[in-house]
């Protein structure tokens, strides 16, 4: 397959993602990886054989862990749905991709921080992070922590998405599961948002911040944490863990997090020993005369 053909398939898929309101970041690199393999081995993806696709997955298994390979497989499945809808392959052919099964992965909670740790790193950050206004830093971190929104969802927020009198905001498509939802926050955070909005006009998004600026902020604040990572996604983990500790029911948590499958939410509701003991002590009591 020539480079021109690779570009043609790649552009076709990008247009398909945009049409279906998918975020490009989830699929972009993965499909390029697959198409580069096809190009290097002179393989047309519309006529690829089982053995040729097996070779591709054997190569990537030597480089990446199960979680990444599963995401790669899901991206390739969606790529072939694109080819099917564009009548470039038959319905029978798409079954080839489904002969490759998702690999089992370890279900574990990644780094998360507590409400106390959030306050501590903010106190340090507001004093020593000179690259960002301290009040802007405060409102961004509190909003991310107490809503659990994804990085892309946060960066897509506009000020007209906020319903501040009712302490909530609408997360609009594109989202990961392609469904709009409301996020909610305490009144104290609404007050922070109102104060910030008065200090700076809206630019490219509600908080006038880019991906690189947000990543830089997290790196700066990471210096005040011990042995924990800090990213927008770890704040999402923190929010989910907080919901579990506050005994928010799991279906409500699923809606708040925007999870399509409740099995994803269940990971956070598998209590550790500390939570088990806390619940036991509070609910199991006895008085012996």
Mean pLDDT of 39-65: 92
Mean pLDDT of 228-235: 91
Q: What is the pLDDT of residues 238-247, one digit of tens each?
A: 999 999 888 8
pTM over 0.85: no
Fold of 115-272: hpI Integrase; Chain A (1.10.443)
Beta-bridge partner residues of 183: 169
Residues carrying CATH 1.10.150, the chain: 3-99
Read off the pLDDT band of 149 (50, 70, 90).
very high
pLDDT of residue 159: 97
Does an H or E element contain 218, and which? helix 211-222
Fold of 3-99: DNA polymerase; domain 1 (1.10.150)
Structure tokens at 165: 């009198």
pLDDT of residue 27 exceeding 70, the answer is: yes
Read off the pLDDT band of 109 (50, 70, 90).
low
Residues carrying CATH 1.10.443.10, the chain: 115-272
Contact call for residues 257 and 144 (beta carbons, < 8 A): no
pLDDT of residue 67: 79
Backbone angles phi, psi at 183, to 5 degrees: -115, 150
Contact call for residues 221 and 213 (beta carbons, < 8 A): no
Q: What is the pLDDT of residues 173-198, one digit of tens each?
A: 766 666 889 999 999 999 999 999 99
pLDDT of residue 190: 97
Neighbour count for residue 146 (Cβ, 10 Å): 20
- Strands (E) in the chain, as ranges, are 162-163, 168-171, 181-184
């Amino acid at each position: 397959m020539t480079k021109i053909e690779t570009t043609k398939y790649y552009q076709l898929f990008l247009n398909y993602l945009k049409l279906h309101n998918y975020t490009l970041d989830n699929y972009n690199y993965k499909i390029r990886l697959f198409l580069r393999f096809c190009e290097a081995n002179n393989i047309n993806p519309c006529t690829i054989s089982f053995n040729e696709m097996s070779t591709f997955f054997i190569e990537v298994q030597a480089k990446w862990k199960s979680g990444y390979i599963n995401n790669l497989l899901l991206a390739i499945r969606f790529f072939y749905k694109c080819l099917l809808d564009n009548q470039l392959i038959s319905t029978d052919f798409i079954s080839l991709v489904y002969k490759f099964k998702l690999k089992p992965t370890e279900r574990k909670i990644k780094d998360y921080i507590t409400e106390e740790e959030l306050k501590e790193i903010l106190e340090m950050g507001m004093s020593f992070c000179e690259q960002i206004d301290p009040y802007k830093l405060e409102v961004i971190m509190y909003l991310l922590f107490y809503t659990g929104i994804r990085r892309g969802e946060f960066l897509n927020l506009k000020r007209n998405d906020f319903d501040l009198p009712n302490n909530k905001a609408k997360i609009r498509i594109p989202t990961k599961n392609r469904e709009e939802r409301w996020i909610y926050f305490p009144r104290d955070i609404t007050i922070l948002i109102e104060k910030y909005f008065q200090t700076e006009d809206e630019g490219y998004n509600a908080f006038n911040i880019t991906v690189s600026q947000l990543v830089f902020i997290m790196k700066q604040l990471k210096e005040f944490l011990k042995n924990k990572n800090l990213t927008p996604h770890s704040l999402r983990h923190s929010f989910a863990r907080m919901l579990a500790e506050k005994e928010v029911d799991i279906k409500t948590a699923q809606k708040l997090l925007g999870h399509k499958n409740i099995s994803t939410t269940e990971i956070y509701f598998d209590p550790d020993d500390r939570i088990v003991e806390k619940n036991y002590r509070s609910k199991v009591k006895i008085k012996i005369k």
